[in-house]
Chain A
Amino acid sequence: MIRYTAGRLASLILSLIAASIVIFAVIEVIPGDPASFMLGVNAREDTLAALRDQMGLNDPLPVRYLNWVTGLLTGDLGTSWTYKTPVADLVADRIWVSLPLAIYALTLSTLIAFPAGIIAASRRGGPADVTIMGATQLGVAIPNFWFAMILVLIFAINLRWFSAGGFPGWEDPALALKSLTLPAIALALPQAAILARVMRSSLLDMLGEDFIRTARAKGLSRRQALWRHAVRNALIPVLTIIGLQFSFLLAGGIIIEQVFFLPGLGRLIFQSISARDLIVVESVVMLLVFTVIVVNFAVDLAYAAVDPRLRRRA
């Protein structure tokens, strides 16, 4: 298990280095000079040159890469060209919306999907299965922004249980959570639908395995055999999906952030790209990549915890 973890950790570090090089290279080859963008089309040539120099755009590429990476490691992400504030502060504000929202949505989707998938699988072909599968079909098909608007219409405008949008900050955690609830539900339901379907099909595969028959021959009832022998084995594909979904939820909630006026990472990156604020784009993308890689690392460790065949005896 220690060797397995060490191996995964080494792969994590290598992935991060590779990703940082790729992100840096891609941003560098994107057409559009940030200096001329900042000063406008009528800027004087010498002002432009001075700004380019000040921004370090004239240094050789390796030097700029090293400066950027050193900055990342020391928490100095540079200064946004459009907002004129440190990128670190910008990102820190947004991540405290996006990260809790992603975790909230993922928790909800898991809490819905696990029981739904297990019930559907254990009563395959029965009315419960048909109902759950029908509901997940809908959940996959409905666009989440439309669903978000329906939620706003019902719970914010008609019932007035929640506010229709905005984020009050974390001074009052209860209020903050409350304002994230509708967005989290809107994000979670489509994910839950997918996860429930994966859980169901994975469980059905397991229920057809020989060791389930062995478990029944030992004297376990159908339900006991399902819980003791099928669920844990069925988790591997489910964990894979959860890992993918978390990465998606963290940055991919941009439309939901728009619908609910949430100051999240998705909006930040969208605005920075439109403004050619490349230093923000670079940092946010790197942060997202970092999160994805760390989540994958966590998923790998979870695999090994679930399935002993994946750990090697050292």
Chain B
Amino acid sequence: MTLLGVKNLTLNIGPHPILHDVDLTVEAGKITAITGESGSGKSMTALAIMGLLPKGANTTGTITFEGGDLLQTSEPDLCDIRGNDIGMVFQEPMTALNPVHTIGSQVAETIRIHTKASKTDAMAQAATMLKRVGLDVPPDRYPHELSGGQRQRVVIAMAIALRPKLLIADEPTTALDVTTQARILTLLQSLVNEFQMGLILITHDLAVVADVADTITVMKKGRVVESGPATRVLTQTQHPYTKALLAASSHQPATREPYASQTPATPGLVVQNVTRTYPLPRQTILGRRAHFRALDNVSLTIAPGERVGLVGESGCGKSTLTRAILGLEDVQAGTITLDGDPVFTGNRPNLTVRRKMQVVFQDPYGSFNPRHRVGRLVSEPWHLLETKPPNGPDLIAQALTDVGLTPSDADKYIHEFSGGQRQRIAIARALITQPDLIIFDEAVSALDVSVRAQILDLIADLGTKRRLAYLFISHDLHVVRAVTDRVLVMQKGRIVEDGPTAQVYDTPQHPYTKELLAAAPHLPDFAEV
């Protein structure tokens, strides 16, 4: 039974065209996925259905729901529909909840808006709904006391509290760990079956789509380019864009010579028995402070030219390890050395170490000073050298060319570049001192699949050309597999598995590694289908 029909939906915001002739149908009890890269109009389609478009939005076409056209429905009537007949779940569970109200009262609010339930009744129903979504936390807690996955369950409970006929989930698992993602997807599937809801699942991740969707709609630049039953779209792909997306998601950088483990001239990075703890707040006023072990007896080595991956979920200690390796903070026990020199030397950085080691961070937007030109940004690490190189402009031009940009880009400002280009600039900045080791801290996590594939190619290529060693840190198992020789798996501050990449992925030893691999969504292998 068709629950929702979008026909010829065209949307302009001010003079800017956003959507062109979008068609979409949603069946009750089925999962319709909308996928595409950022800026493709996925979220705007969802907001158009909800009637929550920003100011200045102009729509034509029809959105039929329960016999009425949502685009022609008055705002008060839309308020009655939202939360009652159509629920919505958003991407960012950390910010989607109001921090000053308890989770129970926020779920109860949905019930109180649309029904005449008393406050106690609504709270009781809310508690039941929170249990139904698998949350084992009392409803009088505040959002900041919950983890990301738990908060997303609260958001889902809020959206389905009145058993809406249609649920729209906009990137509901993008901000979550793989294991949590798998659990949330299972929850959504079971709710669809139980309530016979229609679910619109918006995601950029084709692997997520492949696992759960009944039908798939692929969007590009505000248009639907391909649409149909999931298996057909994935196996008999018609549109070149869909094919490109599929190829990019399962992209393996080419031409990688395997790492030759001859005895290296220098020892490289050696992390030995490192422990880092943070004091927790006292439980009683004069009680002993408990300590949180962010790193627990961690040892690892990265030989010159070796490409090592580090995977683990949020809170496992990846970031603490990165900071410790970069010498940004001290550790309580153990040593970290690069070619025999300690990385942490108190308040004054050890320049001999620093110039051999650089870092590329996740956020391509936040890691540059917007007031400096690219040339200055890229050459920033020169303050690590005793004297500035005399042929500075040539080196900047070379670094920019190496990462696929042009020398003239040095005179531009950072806001003139896209996310992928900014990440190239970040890599150019890391390369400028000719380091031996680069740490990529979630360096491709914020990028679209096609851009991610290009950056991965670039990283693999640089690794080969320059015999560069790198530590590639990511929560994305697939990405790590593509660009590393050896992989480390981290859990609760410990390295639980360490071995050649192919071996760890094919025959994982530790139960946690097995769990991670099982939870990771994957695209079906087309050779088998």
Contacts and interface: CB of A to CB of B under 8 A. Distances in A.
B98 interface: yes
A309 B98 contact: no
Interface stretch (A77-85, A165-173, A208-216, A280-288): A208-216
A308 B142 contact: yes
A210 B145 contact: no
Q: Which 4 A-B pairs have the closest CB atoms?
A: A219-B83, A218-B83, A210-B95, A217-B88
Contacts of B281: 312
Interface residues of B, number: 35
Interface in A210-234: 210-211, 213-221, 228-229, 232-233
Interface in B479-503: none
B96 A219 contact: no
B98 A217 contact: no
10 contacts: A209-B95, A210-B92, A214-B97, A215-B109, A216-B52, A218-B82, A219-B84, A229-B101, A309-B99, A313-B145
B50 interface: yes
B76 interface: yes
Interface residues of A, number: 25
B73 to A, nearest CB: 13
A221 B114 contact: no
B151 to A, nearest CB: 11
A211 B106 CA distance: 10
B98 A215 contact: yes
A307 B79 contact: no
A220 B100 contact: no
B172 interface: no
A306 interface: yes
A160 interface: no
Nearest to B50: A217
A214 B113 contact: no
Interface in A259-314: 306-309, 312-314
B159 A211 contact: no
A314 to B, nearest CB: 8
A210 B52 contact: no
B52 A214 contact: no
Interface of A: 3, 6, 209-211, 213-221, 228-229, 232-233, 306-309, 312-314
A228 B281 CA distance: 32
A308 B100 contact: yes
Given A308-B142, A313-B145, A218 B109 contact: yes
Contacts of A232: 100
Contacts of B202: none
Given A210-B90, A210-B92, A216-B82, A221 B100 contact: no
A232 B281 CA distance: 27
A210 B96 CA distance: 5
Q: Summarize A's interface: helix, strand, loop or mixed.
A: helix
B481 to A, nearest CB: 33
Nearest to A305: B100
A113 to B, nearest CB: 21
Nearest to B97: A211
A312 B142 CA distance: 11
Contact of A306 (B82, B96, B100): B100
Contacts of B384: none
Contacts of B113: 218-220
B342 to A, nearest CB: 37
Nearest to B84: A219
- Name the residue among B52, B97, B98, B99 with the largest chain A CB count within 10 angstroms: B98
Given A213-B90, A214-B97, A220-B109, 16 more contacts: A3-B285, A214-B96, A214-B98, A215-B98, A216-B82, A217-B50, A217-B87, A217-B90, A218-B109, A219-B82, A221-B79, A228-B109, A229-B101, A233-B99, A233-B100, A307-B99
Contacts of B178: none
Given A3-B285, A209-B95, A309-B144, A217 B52 contact: yes
Contact of A309 (B50, B80, B96, B142): B142
B285 A6 contact: yes
B110 interface: yes
B107 to A, nearest CB: 10
A219 B99 contact: no
Contacts of A211: 95-99
Nearest to B98: A211
Nearest to B93: A210
B341 interface: no
Contact of A219 (B98, B110, B142): B110
B84 to A, nearest CB: 6
Contacts of B284: 314
A214 B154 CA distance: 12
Interface in B61-110: 75-76, 79-84, 87-88, 90, 92, 95-101, 109-110
Contact of A221 (B50, B75, B97): B75
A217 B75 CA distance: 12
A214 B110 CA distance: 10
A309 B79 CA distance: 30
